[in-house]
Amino acid sequence: MSSKLEQLQAMLAPVVESLGYQCWGVEFISQGRHSLLRVYIDHANGILVDDCEAVSRQVSAVLDVEDPITSEYTLEVSSPGMDRPLFTLEQFASHAGEQVKIKLRSPFEGRRNFQGFLRGVEEQDVVVLVDDHEFLLPIDLIDKANIIPRFD
């Protein structure tokens, strides 16, 4: 995780949690002069548009005061959704048994993309079963990871 992302997470998580929501994760996508800051929120009762709006107002106020992003950016507050992104070892562990899609920052054993069965976590590694081969992917190498929704 980049230091900018760590700074934003540390700044915004307490704001989200003070409103009664879980800060599921933060993404900052730098796209030249126009960047995107996405804050994922969750709650046991689910997330509605009004929840996103309330969190957005508070997060926006904090960002205006602290001014951690010097370029133009768009703020999005969203539910993690069915294809929820996974950010932490705890999230990976709690979703063991699910199908996942993982993209790495750099190649691991000759590949960057993995899609398979999430077995769990071992120390700082995410354990994924792909085509009968188990991979231990270092959490620090993971760029993006999402649950693959099941429609049973």
| 84 within domain boundaries | no
pTM for this entry: 0.89
> Does residue 8 share a domain with residue 74?
yes
Domain match, 48 and 93 both? no
CATH of the domain at 135: 2.30.30.100
Are residues 71 and 93 part of one domain?
no
Tell me which of 23, 48, 78 is where a domain ends.
78
Angstrom distance (rounded) from CA 102 to CA 115 = 6
Chain position carrying tokens 């998580």: 13
Question: Is residue 83 domain-resident?
Answer: no
Q: Does residue 152 lie in a domain region?
A: no
What domain range is 55 assigned to? 3-78
CATH code (residue 25)? 3.30.300.70
Q: Are residues 57 and 97 in the same domain?
A: no
Four-point Cα dihedral 27, 100, 81, 13, nearest 10: -40
Judgement on whether residues 8 and 40 belong to the same structural domain of the protein: yes
**Per-residue pLDDT of the chain in tens (152 residues, 90 and over written 9):** 568 888 999 999 999 999 999 999 999 988 777 889 999 999 999 999 999 999 999 999 999 999 888 888 999 999 999 999 999 999 999 999 999 999 999 999 899 999 999 999 999 999 999 999 999 999 999 999 999 998 87
Cα separation, 13 vs 63, in Å, equals 12
